[in-house]
Chains A and B, each alone.
Chain A
Amino acid sequence: MNISYYKAVKAERLKLKRSPVWLAFFALPMISAFFGTMNYKMNLGILKSEWFSLWSQHSLFLCYFFMPALIGTYCSYLWRLEHTHHNWNSFLTAPIPRFSLYLGKLTQAVQMAVLGNLWIFLLFYVCGRFAGIQSPFPAVAAEWFVCGVLGTVVICCVQLLLSLIIRSFAIPIGIALLGGILGLMITNRDHGLDYPYSIYCMGMRANNPDMTIDIPALVTNSLGYIFIFSFLTILYLHRKEIAAN
Chain B
Amino acid sequence: MPKQNLVETHNLTKQYGSVRCVSSVNMQVPPGAVYGFLGPNGAGKSTTLKMILGLARPTDGTITLFGTPVNEHNRIKLLAQTGSLIESPSYYGHLTGEENLRIVQTLKGCSAKDIDEVLRIVRLDAARQKLVNHYSLGMKQRLGLAAALLGFPRLLILDEPTNGLDPAGIQEMRELIRSLPDAYGMTILVSSHLLGEIDQMADHVGIIRKGELVYQNALESLHSHAKSQIALRVSHTAIAMDLLRQDGIDISQEEDYLLFPMMDDSYVANLCRRLIAQNISLYRIEKREKSLEDIFLSLTGKETSL
Interface residues of A (CB under 8 A from B): 3-4, 7-8, 10-11, 14-15, 17-19, 81, 84-97, 241-245
Chain B residues with CB below 8 A from A14, complex form: 95, 99, 102-103, 106
B88 at the interface (CB under 8 A from A): yes
- Given known pairs A10-B106, A93-B79, A94-B108, the reply for A15 and B87 (CB within 8 Å) is no
Tell whether, in the assembled complex, residue B99 and residue A85 are in contact, meaning their CB atoms are under 8 Å apart: no
Contacts of A15 in B (CB 8 A): 92, 95, 103
Assess whether A95 is in contact with B56, with CB atoms less than 8 Å apart.
no
Are B89 and A95 in touch, CB under 8 angstroms?
no
- Specify which chain A residues have a CB less than 8 angstroms from the CB of B50 in the assembled complex: 241-242, 244
- Chain B positions within 8 Å of A, measured between CB atoms, are 16, 21, 46-47, 50, 53-57, 76-77, 79-80, 82, 84, 86-95, 99, 102-104, 106-109, 147
State the main secondary structure of chain B at its contact with A.
mixed
A241 touches B107 (CB 8 A): no
Closest-by-CB residue of B relative to A18 is: B94
Instruction: Give bound CA distance, A211 to B231, whole Å.
Output: 98
The distance in angstroms between the C-alpha atoms of A93 and B80, with both chains bound, is 9
Inter-subunit contact B87/A86 (CB<8 Å)? yes
- Taking a contact as CB atoms under 8 Å apart, the answer to whether A11 and B57 are in contact is no
The distance from the CB of B42 to the nearest CB of chain A, in whole angstroms, is 8
Q: 18 more A-B contacts (CB under 8 A) besides A19-B94, A93-B82, A245-B46?
A: A14-B95, A17-B94, A84-B93, A85-B92, A86-B87, A86-B88, A87-B90, A92-B54, A93-B55, A93-B86, A95-B79, A97-B76, A241-B56, A242-B50, A243-B16, A244-B46, A244-B47, A245-B88
Measured in the bound complex, the distance between the Cα atoms of B147 and A4 in whole Å is 19
Q: Is A95 within 8 A of B88, CB to CB?
A: no
Cross-chain contact B99 with A17 (CB below 8 angstroms): yes
Asked if B94 and A244 make an inter-chain contact with CB atoms under 8 angstroms apart, the answer reads no
Cross-chain pairs A/B with CB under 8 angstroms, 9 sampled: A7-B109, A18-B95, A86-B90, A89-B87, A93-B82, A241-B50, A241-B56, A242-B86, A244-B50
A97 to B77 Cα, complex, angstroms = 10
Q: How far is the CA of A8 from the CA of B108 in the complex (A)?
A: 10
B46: A residues at CB distance < 8 A: 244-245
CA distance in complex: A19, B93 (Å)? 11
